[in-house]
Structure 1
Amino acid sequence: MTKIVTLFSLMLLLSGCAFKQYPASPPVSEVQQTTLDCPAVEKEIASQQQVQRQIDKTGEFDGLTVLGFIGDFGIGNGVAKGLAQKHADKRMNQLKLLEKSKCHLAMAS
């Protein structure tokens, strides 16, 4: 019985429980790549910058940070923030590449 309780406690501890909810940043779809024009791409970049600011704001120290630390030493919140930042950076890079191709072609015309 002790082994089961210990194993369950260890699994719960290692599973990482994120108390904070970070905004999602889906990759740029193929439809977006073909249909977005320069102004729309620039609008998407501004929107993505707002998402990145929200990730930073959500990641600030607060009561949920304390709960996360008590629950799993903050691992869950840290992993969630890291993944949110990774996806946000990937989307921003895709949008910047799209901006280069769409906006520079518009300026050359």
Structure 2
Amino acid sequence: MKTVLIAALAILLAGCATKNYGRQGELTDYEKNTMTCREVALEQAKVMGFLDHVQKESEFDGRSVLSFLGDFGIGNLMEKDNAIKSANTRLKQLQGVAAKKGCIQDAAPDTAAATQPEPTN
């Protein structure tokens, strides 16, 4: 009975240990039509900050150990991949808006060099 209780507690803690990074939303048509070059550059910087945050949060810690016990770390990997995918989608959209509006690329952050790779399955 004691073993079952310990196993149930470990599974419960592991479920709560999955990291949550959030998502970057896709640009709306309104944003695409009304953003200035400065706003596009600021949004690109925000997305780059989000990617940095995801990278730092995905480093190994106590939650990584607990999540590994529950699902072998698959939940954390899937969460990170989805967060990076949403950020890369937003960056591509912002780059498209910048190109359409003729924004000077030197004024925008260097998103091509810092873009995280797309997750592979």
**What TM bracket, shorter-length normalisation?**
0.7 to 0.9
Would you say how many aligned residue pairs link Structure 1 and Structure 2? 91
> Is the CA contact (8 Å cut-off) linking 1:23 and 1:51 kept in structure 2?
no
Paired position in structure 2 for 1:70: 69
Q: Which amino acid aligns with 1:39?
A: R
Give 1:1-109 correspondences, 5 Å limit. Answer: 17=15, 19-104=18-103
User: Deviation string for 1:10-33 (max 9, x for gaps)?
Assistant: xx9xxxx56101031011111100
Moved over 2 A (4+): none
Q: The residue matched to 1:27 in structure 2 has which SS?
A: coil
Q: Which amino acid aligns with 2:67?
A: G
Deviates more, 1:73-82 or 1:95-104: 95-104
Q: TM-score, normalised by structure 1?
A: 0.76
Name structure 1 gaps, 5 residues minimum: 1-11
Q: Which has the higher contact order (CA 8 A, sep 6+)?
A: 1
Q: Which amino acid aligns with 1:80?
A: E
Q: Which amino acid aligns with 1:68?
A: S
> Is the CA contact (8 Å cut-off) linking 2:22 and 2:83 kept in structure 1?
yes
Superposition deviation, residue 97 in structure 1:
1.1
Identical-pair percentage: 34
RMSD: 2.0
**Greater helix share, 1 or 2?**
1
> Is the CA contact (8 Å cut-off) linking 2:23 and 2:82 kept in structure 1?
no
Q: Write the distance in 2 (CA, Å) between the matches of 1:102 and 1:37.
A: 8
Q: Which amino acid aligns with 1:34?
A: N
Q: TM-score, normalised by structure 2?
A: 0.69
Larger Rg: 1
Superposition deviation, residue 93 in structure 1:
0.8
Superposition deviation, residue 104 in structure 1:
3.5
Name structure 2 gaps, 5 residues minimum: 1-10, 105-121
